[in-house]
Amino acid sequence: MRLGFVGTGTMAAAMVEGLGGGAVLSPRGAQLAAGLAARFPGVVVADSNQAVVDQCDMVVLSIRPQIAEEVVRALRFRPGQKVLSLVAATQIETIRDWIGLDLPVIRAIPLPFVAERRCVTPIFPADADVAALFDRLGQALTCRTIADFDLFAVGSALMGSYFGLLEVAQSWLEEQGLPQDAARPYLAGLFANLGRVAEQSPAEFAALRGEYSTRGGLNEEVFRVFAQEGGTEALRAGLDSVLRRVRG
């Protein structure tokens, strides 16, 4: 199936990079699209969003939810096409209504790691073509229900908090006198190694926390104070807030 992207931003670029080319790109994000066309074989920059739709069998909606309705309603789709929506917090029925045709609409939550073909990407509903696409970019994870899909969307919203935690820790270390060129690489390496442990170990996260926290030690103290000061409840509140938004 010929693949086309309506909207050429960070996620579209990551997918094209992971696929190694072979896509029709929207002129939105013209500089990024031109760079991809110069780097990868089979990448074409279309004259308009409508030209993307006209040339492709699977149309990827890679646009911000704030402008999605305006962009999609202006497009003319045709029977036989398939739509892959990356539009956050926007239901399949809503997208199909904007399209005006009863086309297959599949939602997915790819992350930037598709560029390295290391991403586990939730999709819903099941679709062989979309699963094959994301298997090329790492691994497709077909969700049983839309409720499961929504929960994965909430989980993906933790990326900013991950870097925010590093940001706060680095700032604190620097305030205590540690130079930035020492604090940043130390924290980045520490968290990268912990991420590898989490990925490779079959143990539950609670068990890993215990394993990496000596009883009465420093690691145990930081998490205890974090929880006592409302950190864990604040995290839960943030996840609850995103879930309400995702479910509309």
- Structure-block tokens of residue 156: 């993906």
Q: What are phi and psi of 106, to 5 degrees?
A: -115, 135
Please report the pLDDT score of residue 52 as a whole number. Answer: 98
Q: Long-range contacts made by residues 190-198, C-beta under 8 angstroms, separation at least 24?
A: 191/162, 191/166
- pLDDT at 28 > cutoff 90: no
Looking at the predicted structure, is the pLDDT value of residue 158 above 90?
A: yes
Q: Is the pLDDT of residue 80 over 90?
A: yes
**Distance of alpha carbon 25 from alpha carbon 29, whole angstroms:** 9
Separation between Cα atoms, residue 54 and residue 222, nearest integer Å: 56
pLDDT band (50, 70, 90) for residue 29: confident
24 strand-pairing partners: 4, 44
Conformation bin of residue 237: beta by default, left when phi > 0, alpha when psi is -120 to 50:
alpha
Report the amino acid identity of residue 46: A
What's the rounded mean pLDDT across residues 134-138? 98
Burial 102-130 (b: 16+ CB within 10 A, else e): ebbbbbbbbbbebbebebbbbbbbebeeb
Domain boundaries defined on the chain: 3-143, 159-247
159-247 and 3-143 share a CATH fold: no
* Residues sharing a CB contact under 8 Å with residue 14, sequence separation 6 or more, in sequence order: 110, 112, 113, 114, 115
pLDDT score of 177 more than 90: yes
What's the pLDDT tens digit per position in 86-134?
999 999 999 999 999 999 999 999 999 999 999 999 999 999 999 999 9
Distance CA 239, CA 154 (A): 6
CATH 1.10.3730.10 fits 159-247, yes or no: yes
Closest Cα to residue 59, out of 36, 87, 32, 39? 87
Q: How far apart are CA 88 and CA 63, in angstroms?
A: 9
pLDDT given for residue 248 in this prediction: 83
Q: What integer pLDDT is reported at residue 96 of this predicted model? A: 98
- How much is the mean pLDDT over the chain? 97
The model's pTM: 0.93
Query: Whole-angstrom Cα distance, residue 74 to residue 204?
Result: 48
b/e code 73-88 from CB counts within 10 Å (16+ = b)? eebebeeebbbbbbbb
3-143: CATH topology is Rossmann fold (3.40.50)
Backbone angles phi, psi at 157, to 5 degrees: -80, 5
The string of pLDDT tens digits covering residues 199-217 is 999 999 999 999 999 999 9
pLDDT > 90: percent of the chain: 98
pLDDT-based confidence at 66, cuts 50/70/90?
very high
